[in-house]
Structure 1
Amino acid sequence: MTETTIAPPELAKLSRALPFWLSLALVPLAWTAAFYGGWAIVLVPVATWYLFTALDAALGLNTENADPSATDAHLFWYRAITTIWVPVQLAMLMGLLWYVPQAEHLRTAERIGVFFGVGVITGTVGINYAHELMHQRNRLERWMADILLAMVLYSHFRSEHLLVHHRYVGTPRDPVSARYNEGFHRYYPRVLWQCWRSAFRAEAAMLSRKGLRWSHRSNPFWRYWALQAGFVALAFALGGWSGVGLFVLQAGVAIWQLELVNYIEHYGLTRKHLGDGKYEHVQPRHSWNAAQKASNWLLINLQRHSDHHFKPDRRFAVLQTYGPDEAPQLPYGYPMMTMIAMVPPLWRRVMNPRVRGWRKTYYPEIKDWADYNKARTPMPR
Structure 2
Amino acid sequence: MSAHPITNLKSALPFWMTLVNVPLAIMGTLWGGWWLLALPAYGLILVSILDKIAGLNEANADPDTVEADLFWYRAITVLWVPLQFVLLFWIIGYVSANRHLNWLEVIVLLYGVGIMTGAAGIVYAHELMHQRNKFERWLADILLSMVLYSHFRSEHLLVHHPYVGTPRDAVTARYNESFFHFFPRVLRECPQSAWKAEVALLKRRDLSPFDRRNPFWRYAALQLGMIAMALIVGGWFGLMMFVVQAFFAAWMLELTNYIEHYGLTRKYLGNGKFEHVKPQHSWNAAHKVSNWLLINLQRHSDHHYKPDRRFPLLQHHAEDQAPQLPYGYPLMTSMAMVPPVWRRMMNPRVRKWRAMYYPEITDWEPYKRGDFA
Say whether the fold is shared (TM-score over 0.5).
yes
- SS in structure 2 of the partner of residue 274 of structure 1: strand
Q: Judge conservation of contact 1:12–1:76 (CA < 8 Å) in 2.
A: no
Q: Judge conservation of contact 2:285–2:328 (CA < 8 Å) in 1.
A: yes
Moved more, 65-74 or 113-122: 113-122
Determine whether 1:335 maps to 2:325: no
Percent identity between matched residues is 60
- Select the residue among 4, 10, 17 that pairs with 1:15: 10
Please tell me the root mean square deviation across aligned C-alpha atoms, in Å: 1.5
- Select the residue among 229, 234, 237 that pairs with 1:239: 234
Q: Judge conservation of contact 1:341–1:347 (CA < 8 Å) in 2.
A: yes
Work out the CA distance in 1 between the residues paired with 2:284 and 2:305.
Answer: 12
1:105 corresponding residue in structure 2: 100
Q: Judge conservation of contact 2:167–2:368 (CA < 8 Å) in 1.
A: no
Determine whether 1:60 maps to 2:55: yes
Go from structure 1 to structure 2 and tell me whether the alpha carbon gap of 1:273 and 1:29 turns closer, same or farther (over 3 Å shift): same
Q: Judge conservation of contact 1:63–1:291 (CA < 8 Å) in 2.
A: yes
Unaligned runs of 5+ in 1: 1-5, 377-381
- SS in structure 2 of the partner of residue 307 of structure 1: helix
Work out the CA distance in 1 between the residues paired with 2:315 and 2:111.
Answer: 33
Q: Judge conservation of contact 1:271–1:279 (CA < 8 Å) in 2.
A: yes
Q: Judge conservation of contact 1:12–1:77 (CA < 8 Å) in 2.
A: no
Go from structure 1 to structure 2 and tell me whether the alpha carbon gap of 1:196 and 1:24 turns closer, same or farther (over 3 Å shift): same
Q: CA deviation at 1:7?
A: 5.9
1:370 corresponding residue in structure 2: 365
2:177 corresponding residue in structure 1: 182
2:145 maps to a residue whose letter is A
Q: Judge conservation of contact 1:300–1:317 (CA < 8 Å) in 2.
A: yes
Q: Judge conservation of contact 1:8–1:67 (CA < 8 Å) in 2.
A: no
Go from structure 1 to structure 2 and tell me whether the alpha carbon gap of 1:363 and 1:11 turns closer, same or farther (over 3 Å shift): farther
2:259 corresponding residue in structure 1: 264
Q: CA deviation at 1:47?
A: 0.7
- SS in structure 2 of the partner of residue 66 of structure 1: coil
TM-score, L = length of structure 1? 0.95
Determine whether 1:344 maps to 2:322: no
1:279 corresponding residue in structure 2: 274
Determine whether 1:82 maps to 2:80: no
Work out the CA distance in 1 between the residues paired with 2:233 and 2:111.
Answer: 18
Q: Judge conservation of contact 2:118–2:252 (CA < 8 Å) in 1.
A: yes
Q: CA deviation at 1:108?
A: 2.6
Q: CA deviation at 1:11?
A: 10
1:32 maps to a residue whose letter is M
Work out the CA distance in 1 between the residues paired with 2:291 and 2:62.
Answer: 18
Q: Judge conservation of contact 2:302–2:315 (CA < 8 Å) in 1.
A: yes
Residues 242-289 of structure 1, C-alpha deviations (whole Å, 9 max, x = no match): 000000010000000000000000000001111111111111110001
- Select the residue among 68, 72, 87 that pairs with 1:92: 87
- Select the residue among 299, 302, 324 that pairs with 2:297: 302
1:171 maps to a residue whose letter is T
Q: CA deviation at 1:105?
A: 2.8
Q: Judge conservation of contact 1:11–1:75 (CA < 8 Å) in 2.
A: no
Q: CA deviation at 1:368?
A: 1.6
Work out the CA distance in 2 between the residues paired with 1:375 and 1:253.
Answer: 30
Q: Judge conservation of contact 1:7–1:67 (CA < 8 Å) in 2.
A: no
Unaligned runs of 5+ in 2: none
Work out the CA distance in 1 between the residues paired with 2:87 and 2:181.
Answer: 33
Work out the CA distance in 2 between the residues paired with 1:183 and 1:105.
Answer: 37
1:125 corresponding residue in structure 2: 120
Determine whether 1:39 maps to 2:39: no
Go from structure 1 to structure 2 and tell me whether the alpha carbon gap of 1:113 and 1:280 turns closer, same or farther (over 3 Å shift): same
1:25 corresponding residue in structure 2: 20
- Select the residue among 272, 287, 293 that pairs with 2:288: 293
2:26 maps to a residue whose letter is W
- SS in structure 1 of the partner of residue 269 of structure 2: strand
Residues 355-374 of structure 1, C-alpha deviations (whole Å, 9 max, x = no match): 01111111111122121132
Q: CA deviation at 1:9?
A: 5.8
Q: CA deviation at 1:109?
A: 2.3
Q: Judge conservation of contact 1:181–1:268 (CA < 8 Å) in 2.
A: yes
Q: Judge conservation of contact 2:128–2:140 (CA < 8 Å) in 1.
A: yes
1:316 corresponding residue in structure 2: 311
1:3 corresponding residue in structure 2: none
Number of residue equivalences? 372
Q: CA deviation at 1:138?
A: 0.2
Go from structure 1 to structure 2 and tell me whether the alpha carbon gap of 1:366 and 1:104 turns closer, same or farther (over 3 Å shift): closer
- SS in structure 2 of the partner of residue 65 of structure 1: coil
1:345 maps to a residue whose letter is P
1:116 maps to a residue whose letter is Y
- SS in structure 2 of the partner of residue 73 of structure 1: helix
TM-score, L = length of structure 2? 0.97
Q: CA deviation at 1:10?
A: 9.2
1:261 maps to a residue whose letter is T
Q: Judge conservation of contact 2:2–2:69 (CA < 8 Å) in 1.
A: no
